[in-house]
Amino acid sequence: MSGSQRLTDSAAWRALQAHYAAVKDAHLRTLFADDPGRAARFTVEGAGLTLDYSKNRITEETVRLLVQLARERGVAERRDAMFRGEKINVTERRAVLHVALRAPRGERIEVDGQDMVPEVHAVLDRMAAFANQLRDGSWKGHTGKRIRTIINIGIGGSYLGPEMAYLALRPYSDRTLDFRFVSNVDGANFDEATQGLDPAETLFVVSSKTFTTLETMTNAATARKWIVSALGTDAAVARHFVAVSTNTPGVQKFGIDPANMFGFWDWVGGRYSMDSAIGLSTMIAIGPENFRELLAGFHNMDEHFRSTPLERNLPVLMGLLTVWYNNFFGAQTLGVMPYSAHLARFPAYLQQLQMESNGKHVDLTGAVVDWQTGPVIWGEPGTDGQHSFYQLIHQGTKLIPCDLIGFLQPLSPLTDHHDLLMANMFAQAEALGFGKTAEELTAEGSPTFQTPFRVTEGNRPTNAILADRLDPRTLGSLVALYEHSVFTQGAVWGIDSFDQWGVELGKVLANRIIPELRDKAAPKLTHDSSTNALIERYRRARNS
C-alpha cells in the first residue's frame, strides 16, 4: 500500500526497471509491424470516450507490470476510500468528494455520517432557478434593465474551470448574454473586462471558496465601486452581485445578501470545483439542462473509474502511462493538444489540475521522495501548435509524450474544415510515432545533403482521445478522465494530491511586501539584497 512502503522498494517497481531496460529502445515501427492487432489491443472505451494508447512505447508486459504497480500501491483501495468520503487529503484532514457533486439524486455519499447528495442537489436547484431568471430576463438590474453581461471574478480553481467550460461550450450558450472573466490583480484585467459595458446591465459573480483571496477580494471591491459610483447607491449591490463561496460571514461582510449566495463544501478542492456552484457562470451560459448533462458526463466517468477493471480503466491507464514516461523514461513534460478551437483553455485548466495536485516533494508520511512526481503540463490547440512548437517534439532531443484530443463530429457548419482538422490530428500521431528514415527519404528523392536534417526518428508516444462531439456530457467525461488520471498518478507516487502548501509561501511574502511598497515611511528593508534592490527601484519609480 502507498504510504507504508517506499515506491522504489515495491516489487512491481523493480520489475518495471528491469523491463524498461529491455524495451526502452523498441521502436513503434517494429512493435506495430510485429503485431497487426496492436491498435485494437491497446484501445479502450468508457463514458463516451475512446482512448487509443497503442502508439505508446509499451508492450503487453508493460501494461501488466504497470497495473501490478497500481495494485501494489493501492490505487483501487485509495479510490474506494475517496468515494466513501474518507479524509484522504491527510495534510488538511479533509474528505475529497468532488464525485459527490455529480452524483445523481437518490445516490448516497457520506461525509462524517451525513449524506451530502441532497445538499448538492438543493444548491443545484437554487442555481438553476437563478440561472433561468437571468436567461429569461426576469432578473433585473437596479435600474430595471435586463442583465446582458456576467463577469466571473475569481482566480485559480475559481476561474480556470468556468472560463475553460464557457469557451468549450459556447455553441450551447445563450448568445444574447456576454461572459467575461476577471482573475488577475493587475488592474488591466478589470479595465479590459469592463470596457464598453453598461454597469446597469452587468452582474458580477464573485467566486471564492474562502472569500479572502487577495486578488479576488481586490477585484470584487473595485467592481463594487464601479457599480455603486455608476448607479449612485449601495442598494445596487443586491441586484448586481452574487457570491459563490463556503464563507457566509465573509460574503455578508462584503454586502452580498446570503440569499444571493451559492454554497459549497470544504471537501471540494478549488481545482476540482468547476462542477460545484463555482460553475454558476457556466450554468447561466449553457442553461440548467446542459449543466446537468455536463454533470452526467462527469458521473459516467466516475462510474467507469470506480467499476472498470484496472486493465481497461481509461484514467488508470492514462495515469500509469504518465508514470511510465515520467519515472522510467525521465520525461519532464506532458503535452496536451486538443484538436478543437473550443478547447483553447483546456491545457491551462489541466495545468492547474495536474501541477497543483501532483507537484509534491514528500510522500503521505512526510518523507522526502526519491522518485519524480508530477510532470510539467502544457499545450495548445492543434493545428496551431503544429506551426510553432511541434518541431521540437518531432526532431528535438527531448521526449515529450502527448495527448491528442479530437472529435468525430464538427460543431461548426463548416464541415469541410473538420476533415482537414482531424486529418492533421491523425497525421501528427502517425508522424510522431513512425517518423521517416534516411532510406525512405532517399527513395523519395531527397537530396543527399538534406537527408540527415529531414530524418524524423519517430518513436514519439501519443495517446489519441476521441469522442463523438464536444458537448456538455463529453466535456464532463473528459475533465473527469484527467481528474482520475491525476488521482492514479498521485496514488502511485504516494503523495497528497489534494493540498497545495507550496502556494502559501508566496502569498505570505507578498503580504509582507505590500506595505513596503505603499508606506513611504516603511522601516528599513530586511530582505536579501536582490529583493531589497527591486523594491527600492520600484519605490523610486513610483515616488518620482
| Binding footprint of ligand G6Q on the chain (CB under 6 A) | 155-158, 208-210, 213, 216, 269-271, 356, 500
| Closest to ligand G6Q by CB, 218 or 451 | 218
- CA-to-CA distance for 485 and 192, rounded, in angstroms? 36
121 as an active site residue: the answer is: no
C-alpha cell at 439: 532510406
516 as an active site residue: the answer is: no
| Closest to ligand G6Q by CB, 104 or 502 | 502
- CA-to-CA distance for 58 and 322, rounded, in angstroms? 12
Residue linked to cell 467592481: 223
**Beta-ladder partners of 205:** 152, 242
User: Distance of alpha carbon 393 from its chain centroid, rounded?
Assistant: 22
Shortest CB 222 distance to ligand G6Q, Å: 16
Shortest CB 270 distance to ligand G6Q, Å: 2
- CA-to-CA distance for 435 and 494, rounded, in angstroms? 37
- CA-to-CA distance for 416 and 120, rounded, in angstroms? 43
Shortest CB 447 distance to ligand G6Q, Å: 53
| Closest to ligand G6Q by CB, 270 or 374 | 270
* Residue facing ligand G6Q at closest CB distance: 156
Contact 495, 327 (CB under 8 A): no
387 as an active site residue: the answer is: yes
Out of 356, 380, 483, 516, the active site residue is: 356
| Closest to ligand G6Q by CB, 207 or 327 | 207
| Closest to ligand G6Q by CB, 85 or 156 | 156
Contact 166, 282 (CB under 8 A): yes
Shortest CB 315 distance to ligand G6Q, Å: 19
Contact 283, 291 (CB under 8 A): yes
**Strand boundaries in 349-461, DSSP class E:** 376-378, 402-407
| Closest to ligand G6Q by CB, 220 or 336 | 220
Three-state SS for 430?
helix
User: To 5 degrees, how large is the angle CA 347–CA 324–CA 1?
Assistant: 105
Shortest CB 262 distance to ligand G6Q, Å: 13
- CA-to-CA distance for 448 and 445, rounded, in angstroms? 8
Shortest CB 506 distance to ligand G6Q, Å: 11
For the annotated catalytic residues, the residue numbers are: 356, 387, 507
